[in-house]
A and B are shown apart, each in its own frame.
Chain A
Amino acid sequence: MELCDLTIHELKRLYAQKEVGPSTVLAAVVRRIKEVEAGTGAYIDLELESAFEQARTAEARLKAGKPLGELEGIPVAVTDNLCRAGKKTTCASRMLAEFVPPNTATAVRNLTAQGAIILGRTNMDEFAMGSSTEYSAVRKPKNPWDPQRTPGGACGGSAAAVAAGETIAALGTDTGGAIRLPAAFCGVTGLKPTYGLVSRYGLVALAASLDQIGPLAKDAQDCALLLNLLTGYDPLDSTSVRKERMDYTRDLEQTLSGRKIGLPREYFGAELDEAVRRVLMEAVAQLEALGAEIVELSLELTKYALPAYYIIAAAEASSNLARFDGIRYRQAAPVGEELNAYYTRARTKGFGPEVKRRIMLGTYILSAEGYKTYYQKAQQVRTLVSQEFKSAFQEVEALITPTAPTTAFKMGERLEDPLSMYSSDLYTVPASLAGLPAISVPCGFVGGLPVGLQIIGRPFAENTILNIAHQYQKRTDYHKARPPRQKEGTV
């Protein structure tokens, strides 16, 4: 294992013991990027010059014995929908190809304030709409475990970069599973925090009632370290909750003995791949062996969460993306045409097929004809889904489910069939609708491809799901497996 394959907590220990410095670690990460990036396509853009400069600064602080930030000298990547002042932020869309924001996302600022080195912007589905990152207008990234397959989406670039050792950790955003699904497909650990826990200031919105920023890392312990820095009330985000900050590493070592964990039947139905189910059931047995009490229960509305989610997400996306008018985001200036004709030309040219599909569906759903049948109904179902979780959480502390019905699917396989693409999110969207925290952890392999175990928690109980994930990872080695190295040009 090389330095670029290590975790944040391992590197922090090496830094503290002065065994290795940030410049050496960054050099190892960059070596790996040069070796595999042409194959994975995880990044949209790299900022290596400034990264090396930051590494030298961190190195000097370390040598001088100055106080260090929590992430001092740790390379981190960010998805391309998180704004940083003066740096391009494109959402992998032609619409924002030249957009340079004047502001920095609070989540990113919170990491850099603690010394994190930003390596660059990772690839994603255009405006985070997709489940395979094939809707990126830049290029289609590949799964590091099998270049014939997608890394999942929408934050496939972040997940692939972490898995391939092209970064130590990454930020992503999760609306209906965009952190958890690629984490599962790429064999990394990804956490979607409770709605409102992490400030979304500076995030280009997809669906404002669902979006959350969260970490993708090599284990649950790193996710806890990152979450510690990401949380905190932010007056710049009106949905940011006022809660006392807590230490998410605090409960990692607690025993699972006597903990009640629910196994919802509906997540293990006919849609679930049989081999994936077998791997999942082994994970359940491991948790039982760790002392957890597994309780089978029922969440009957699960199958309705997918249509409800897509209706709400499309409606909100169509409204959010109305701002992209061509006038304010560095498009070519209008030339002798009427204003609406200009808007239409800029938007038709700027948006890709999936974005257009969701804008069209969302516009219809919010129209007089579509509103009652689709939008209002979906919001009512959302209330019921939320209530169903609430009553389940009166009985159990957490729920375990598969993260996805299958392992990573082949490139192109679902690209022309939106309903089949949407079905990848079957198990991740229910927690999103209810605003609950959920984490995906690697729990085994099927045919050489990683399988993800999803742990869903009560609102703001990230400490509980991180504890379960960490205890599981102490007993298993799946999160330590690294993909076979794909040489440049072999894919």
Chain B
Amino acid sequence: MRINEQDLRRIADAARLEFTEAELAEWAEELNRILQYWAKLEEVETTGVPPFVQAWPTSNRWREDTVKPSLPREDALQNASAVQDGHFKVVQSSE
């Protein structure tokens, strides 16, 4: 399975990354080389093999629903790029 520059543009868009045209050409070649090596897994017979889910069986861990102090708002906001009225401030995302 090969990816072309158009696929890459779509992936970059989903990943919220930007590349120049020259970078895209370079990346397409490089990523295809990696994907081609990864395709080596096709050699392994996996019919009926369940995908790995977790290392050790664990079940739900219940706890009492008790009220405890939480992170103070000021601390929660300390890394915000912008704050307004005690909230993370972002730019408008829809009309």
B81 touches A435 (CB 8 A): no
Q: Which residues of chain B have C-beta atoms less than 8 A from A384's C-beta?
A: 44, 46, 49
Q: Which residues of B contact A386 (CB under 8 A)?
A: 52, 55
A228 at interface, CB cutoff 8 A = no
Give chain A interface residues in 182-203, CB to chain B under 8 Å.
Answer: 194-196
Interface residues of B in 10-26 (CB under 8 A from A): 11-12, 14-18
Q: Which of B33, B35, B54, B81 contacts A330 (CB 8 A)?
A: B81
Chain B minimum-CB-distance residue to A98: B79
- Using known A-B contacts A235-B63, A338-B91, determine if residue A304 contacts B17 with beta carbons closer than 8 Å: no
Majority DSSP secondary structure for residues of B touching A: loop
- Total A residues in contact with B, Cβ cutoff 8 Å: 72
Question: Are B79 and A348 closer than 8 Å at their CB atoms?
Answer: no
Partner of B16, one of A307, A344, A433: A344
Complex interface: chain A residues within 8 A of B82 (CB): 333-334
Interface size counted on chain B using CB atoms at 8 A: 51
Which of A327, A337, A364, A373 contacts B81, CB < 8 Å? A327
A422 to chain B, nearest CB (A): 8
Among A101, A339, A363, A378, contact of B41 (Cβ-Cβ < 8 Å) = A378
A99-B79, A380-B51, A380-B52 given as contacts; is B11 within 8 A of A363 (CB)?
Answer: yes
Residues of A within 8 Å of B67, CB to CB, are none
Q: Is the CB of B79 within 8 A of A356?
A: no
Closest 8 pairs (CB-CB, A-B): A435-B55, A379-B51, A382-B52, A339-B93, A380-B46, A333-B82, A102-B75, A195-B55
22 A-B pairs (CB sep. < 8 Å): A301-B44, A304-B41, A304-B43, A307-B38, A318-B15, A329-B81, A330-B81, A334-B81, A338-B93, A340-B16, A351-B17, A356-B17, A360-B11, A361-B31, A364-B7, A364-B31, A380-B52, A381-B44, A383-B49, A383-B51, A419-B33, A459-B56
